[in-house]
Structure 1
């Protein structure tokens, strides 16, 4: 006979008021009692197992949900990782381009420094040559001034001679004197004009050869193409004329 745990009825085997059952009945009752206790334990264990199973199922559901969330986060992270990988590749390329530009700028700066040194030396050389040209021009001016003084002295001497011979100069002597004066002054003026023209030609050749020696020298020589050179060139032309 099977009964639930709430309906168990204890059986006392020491009850002497009842008639003593046969031995087989007693053994059968003991077996039933043991079976009831076993069933009670089984039912109790089954309830515990079912409760644990529900808890395990609930935990499993939570784990499944957490796993799905983790998988979704993993997919999002993979997408973000792909974006970061592309951005890292672009940044690496940009860094390499900047490195190349830096190397080009360093090379250009080195070339500019060398060219600046060369241009400085060329500028100093041109300044030295310009000062030499100015010295030559000053020498020509001094020679021209001396020639003017000599011409004035010659004119004064001739004027004195003419005044001394003005009273009764022979016609042929006066003509010879005029011819001599004209030939002397014209020859001296021609020699002076040739000398001035030669200096002007030499200075022009020196100037333009220096100007066209390099592209950079044009910037250096540009300051010599202003009023000072124009004034010098005008003075030389007035001397040569």
Structure 2
């Protein structure tokens, strides 16, 4: 049986969603974050040297990284090609968004989260205004000018089609769900109505709801 090494509030949530969509049997092995660092526990390193999630084990195979896990599960179990287009523009779009999620969007969102949290950490009172000014400038001058065009591009894509690869749900949507959920906690999505609509679509998917029940309440960091 497939085992999902599931760290709370993490990218592994979308792997549970994919498994539900594929109607596969699986076991969830839960891990808690360190309350101070938000990192995964040392026990995860027994599964994979980096101690990060998601990781799955399928028999004797161990597969890490969201994109690689998605590709593996589709190659092995999606025999009817329900969640991956097979040709044309839909296939090109699918591949693009599958890699865009972690390759382009998520790094900026992680940087944004770090810059938001630094001033909140304990520090001498006279340092806090300086930390807030520096992190604010990093966001203003570096992060925001790069993330805004990406969000606008996503918004326009979703203005033209229901899902990222057309009118049908694919694994690219599952992959893109996490960074957009993360963005919703770090940005005002008022001017991105199609992204907001996409997130509502995701939450209404029966397979997504089943994954949430198995993986626990989900709030992106």
**Same fold per superposition (TM over 0.5):** no
Higher strand proportion (structure 1 or 2): 2
Structure 1-normalised TM-score? 0.29
**Larger gyration radius, structure 1 or structure 2:** 1
State the structure with bigger RCO (CA 8 A, min sep 6), 1 or 2.
2
